[in-house]
Amino acid sequence: MYLSEQKVRAVLRYDALIPAIRQSLIDYSAGQVNQPPRSILRAGNAEGDRNGWFAVMPVVAGDVMGVKTVTFFPGNADLGISTHLAMIELLRRSTGEPLAVMDGRLITEMRTAAVSAVALEALAPPEALSLGVLGSGVQARAHIQALRIVRPALTDVRIWSRTPAHAERLAEETGARAVSIEEAAAADVVLTVTASPEPLLKGRWLAPRSLVLAVGAVGAHLRELDDEAILGAWLVAESRDGVEREAGDVLLSGAKVQAEIGELLSSGRSASAPLAQRIVFKSVGMAIEDLVAARLVWQFHASRLQ
């Protein structure tokens, strides 16, 4: 069974995806997921920041197995092509039978935003009403949609982009405001979804009790947060191993992970996260998230064939 992005889009919804992602993060932290580190190769197609990469992400969990192959080519933006492209193969764990092959671009987009939505629901204080977004691309749009699902009270959405026209366009599409980076960073919840190779979010701009969802700039030598922003916070990771291996925000600052989000969710300790301290949630993406999203898509289409 081959499922195009159109067929994925027709059935994948955040109301089903977010709880599935929440359970997958709990399972991961409980050691119930067999997920080796992703293997990344440089494409060698160009010099500097136009040099793309190719990654392979296998995983075994529950009754299925899967592998995602994903590429990131920054130069694609100038060609009108998505910078992130992916394919996912889903197999039955008991026999190894192929169940489906599907386009993974939209799954990558939506599961990333769903992870942040789970973190927001667990870590943001009830009085958080404003959301500052640094970035104006695909992930910014997906995150605004997903975060509003778990926290409808986020009515004050502020968007900053290095390209002001992009921020204005996204703000108009989503009922938000295009603002300065300082105003976006002063929000109760701050989302960073850029490909910045150097820090652009300054700790001095952040509110003392803010929640920072640090999503972009995945890579050991890339970072979005300066030292003050991350070292002055209680750091929660999507995956301790993944963040300590791939996140420049952590590696280059020397920040220490206090907990995985799955650990907090399973123990109920999210309520005991420090109330008077800033929290940073750092994610880099995991194969288990792709697997549970792909399983949802396959289940729906398979049921239609019966």
Kindly report, residue by residue over 140-156, the tens digit of the pLDDT.
999 999 999 999 999 99
The CATH architecture to which 2-107+287-305 belongs is 2-Layer Sandwich (3.30)
- The yes-or-no verdict on residue 273 having pLDDT over 70 is no
Domain range list for the chain: 2-107+287-305, 124-282
pLDDT score of 77 more than 70:
yes
Percentage of the chain beyond pLDDT 70 is 97
Is the entire prediction scored with pTM above 0.75? Answer: yes
Tell me which CATH code domain 124-282 carries.
3.40.50.720
- Lowest-pLDDT range of 11-15, 173-177, 275-279: 275-279
Other residues' Cβ atoms within 10 Å of the Cβ of residue 20 = 16
243-257: average pLDDT? 94
Task: Enumerate long-range contacts of 121-126, CB under 8 Å, 24 or more apart.
Answer: 121/150, 121/151, 122/261, 122/264, 122/265, 122/270, 123/211, 123/236, 123/261, 123/264, 123/270, 123/273, 123/279, 123/281, 124/151, 124/188, 124/189, 124/211, 125/188, 125/209, 125/211, 125/275
User: Tens of pLDDT along 20-76?
Assistant: 999 999 999 999 999 999 999 988 888 876 788 899 999 999 999 999 999 988 888
pLDDT computed for residue 275 by the predictor: 67
Integer Rg of the chain from CA: 18
Residue 220 pLDDT greater than 90, yes or no: no
Mean residue pLDDT of the chain comes to 93
